[in-house]
Structure 1
């Protein structure tokens, strides 16, 4: 689902609760399949793997698709907007510098869903990681290089 001009409404009512796990989706600008470019995808993946990207949170699982990124994030003592913003800003900086890209890398906002305490976090991670299979990008998840989970 592409974010519209009313996407700022996604932020209305957003609550960041320490210890809570959030399913997050960040979409590229105009849904450009920016991460079909292997160099851009590797940059975004390396940044996601760095512990310095998540100083106040834990990225439990993530998958990078051609035009969006999904993350399962457990918050620490920083709000979700700052946590996700740090990742998006780091990716944007490197890609823009390397490609001399002028347009934004990401849409301004992101979508999130707080998992309820009784939700199965590993089931949410399996769903997130299976995204390349559902999209028909690969036949086996092991063939897709741009994902990870802390349980591996």
Structure 2
């Protein structure tokens, strides 16, 4: 059995890739509300910041920052994955290895994580999140993919920096004429 070593730093910022067992599935986008609910429940119990996220049909990428006194991202992923699995439909085929453990067989057991080291590393992983829907062949432009937090953040920034619409002032119009 492999011995996985995870770099655990309290308050660290991490990039994650989490995949479904069935790479042809679109379960994550067809049941996006279940994923959002499972994440919300987890964050309420075990807080963390989601710096960026993109949900693809069969995998997701996220960047999290953990609280200063906590380094346990594995327990958070376990809670999100089990919360989602509890309510998602079972796949047509469940591998025997998952059946033996009483698992639904939705997720790959392992996930990939990378601790963000500096600003350049963060920029690189933000770019990976932004470009993931293009690399997956889902859209031509990142802004066309609806399941990306970076699109939402960009839209919100545009709304706050855009000039306020002019509201006609009847008194000013009367004075001008």
Q: TM-score, structure 1 length as denominator?
A: 0.75
Distance 1:66 1:33 in 2: 7
Inter-CA distance 27–42: structure 2 relative to 1 (3 Å threshold): same
Which contiguous aligned blocks of 4+ residues in structure 1 show a shift greater than 4 angstroms?
none
Distance 1:69 1:111 in 2: 11
Q: Which has the larger radius of gyration?
A: 2
Matched, 1:82 2:83: no
Name the one with the larger strand percent: 1
Gaps of 5+ in 2: 95-103, 154-177
Aligned length: 138
Q: TM-score, structure 2 length as denominator?
A: 0.66
Match of 2:51 in 1: 60
* Structure of greater relative contact order (alpha carbons < 8 Å, 6+ residues apart): 1
CA RMSD in angstroms, aligned pairs only = 2.6
- 1:6-85 correspondence to structure 2 within 5 Å: 9=2, 12-35=4-27, 38=30, 40-48=31-39, 50=40, 52-54=41-43, 55-76=46-67, 77-85=70-78
